[in-house]
């Protein structure tokens, strides 16, 4: 696959559908020197959803809803990577260090597409959910069975590295399929209004900013590992991007 095609794929769906051929052609003609500007342009457009064209009714809202669930999935993986942690938790037993999760969950609730309450639509929703989640459910079940089978105890070396790699691959695959489920459901569900999506973006961004702040506070004055710093930076970037997109999304947009 050509680099121009890969870079074009980074742009929001409506932008790709409207101007994808032109973008790919310009990047291909300009050569490698244009790649940084093209990638930066894609990132900038994701921060300005009000500038996206509408190729289908409600497309902007569907894309934003899926993007928010993708951010939530990345956050969940980051949280798992930091555990156990005294600074960043998701446990009712630790309300102070888990308070960042409250605005995130509120935002997810506002951004969730609602199923149409008709038997045929609900039956289709169940069918789509089963088909989409069957593979990750099987992978998770296999992983749990392998972990509790006692076949491999106290692995070392290559075996340990392979098991850890499989563990994270299964988690990432499950997160990807959950986002895919939201995308498939959104096409036939009642989408949240633009105002709700704006509020969801701001709430989730605020929660991620709190999480990044807690992570920063925990590593100040210590000798943090590279993983802690990376998690803090990623949370901060996600927070900034989500809040910026929320401020850009105009409440009067009917997309």
Tell me the per-residue pLDDT of 64-115, one tens digit each, with 9 for 90 and over. 999 999 999 999 998 888 887 878 888 888 888 899 999 999 999 999 888 7
Question: 145 versus 221: which is more confidently predicted?
Answer: 145
How many residues can be counted in the chain? 255
Of 38, 37, 31, the closest CA to residue 16 belongs to: 38
State the pLDDT at residue 224.
Answer: 59
C-alpha separations of 127 from 112, 131, 184 in Å:
19, 6, 11
Over residues 218-232, mean pLDDT: 72
Instruction: Give how far Cα 90 sits from Cα of 101, 141, 228, 242, Å.
Output: 7, 23, 17, 20
Q: For 176-190, how does the pLDDT look when each residue is reduced to its tens digit (9 = 90+)?
A: 999 998 888 877 788
Confidence of residue 191 (pLDDT cuts 50, 70, 90): confident
Q: What global pTM score does this model have? A: 0.86
Mean pLDDT calculated for residue range 218-223? 70
Confidence of residue 223 (pLDDT cuts 50, 70, 90): low
Closest Cα partner for 187 from 70, 59, 69, 14? 59
Rounded-to-5 percentages of helix, strand, coil across the chain: 75, 0, 25
User: Could you give phi then psi for residue 6, rounded to 5 degrees?
Assistant: -65, -45
- Give the pLDDT confidence of 41-71 residue by residue, as tens digits: 999 999 999 989 887 778 899 899 999 999 9
Domain boundaries, the chain: 1-46, 57-248
Give the rounded distance of the alpha carbon of 108 from its chain centre: 11
Residues 6+ apart with CB under 8 A from 87: 97, 214, 215, 217, 218
Whether residue 118 is predicted with pLDDT greater than 70 in this model: the reply is yes
Mean pLDDT, to the nearest integer, of 2-25?
A: 90
């Amino acid at each position: 696959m050509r680099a121009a095609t890969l870079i074009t794929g980074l742009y929001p769906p409506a932008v790709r559908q409207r101007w994808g051929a032109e973008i790919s052609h310009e990047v291909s003609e300009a050569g490698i020197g244009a790649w940084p500007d093209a990638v930066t342009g894609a990132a900038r457009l994701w921060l300005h959803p009000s500038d996206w064209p509408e190729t289908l009714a409600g497309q902007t809202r569907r894309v934003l809803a899926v993007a928010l669930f993708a951010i939530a999935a990345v956050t969940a993986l980051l949280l798992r990577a930091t555990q156990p942690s005294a600074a960043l938790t998701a446990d009712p037993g630790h309300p102070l260090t888990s308070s960042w999760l409250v605005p995130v969950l509120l935002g997810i609730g506002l951004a969730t597409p609602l199923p149409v309450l008709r038997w045929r639509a609900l039956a289709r929703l169940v069918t789509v959910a089963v088909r989409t989640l069957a593979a990750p459910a099987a992978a998770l079940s296999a992983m749990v069975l392998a972990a509790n089978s006692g076949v491999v105890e106290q692995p070392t070396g290559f075996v340990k590295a392979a098991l850890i790699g499989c563990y994270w691959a299964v988690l990432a695959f499950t997160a990807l399929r959950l986002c895919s489920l939201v995308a498939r459901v959104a096409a036939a569900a009642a989408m949240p209004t633009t105002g709700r999506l704006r509020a969801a973006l701001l709430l989730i961004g605020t929660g991620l900013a709190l999480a990044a702040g807690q992570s920063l506070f925990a590593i100040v004055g210590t000798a943090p590992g590279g993983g802690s710093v990376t998690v803090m930076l990623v949370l901060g970037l996600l927070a900034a991007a989500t809040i910026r997109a929320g401020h850009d999304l105009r409440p009067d947009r009917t997309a």
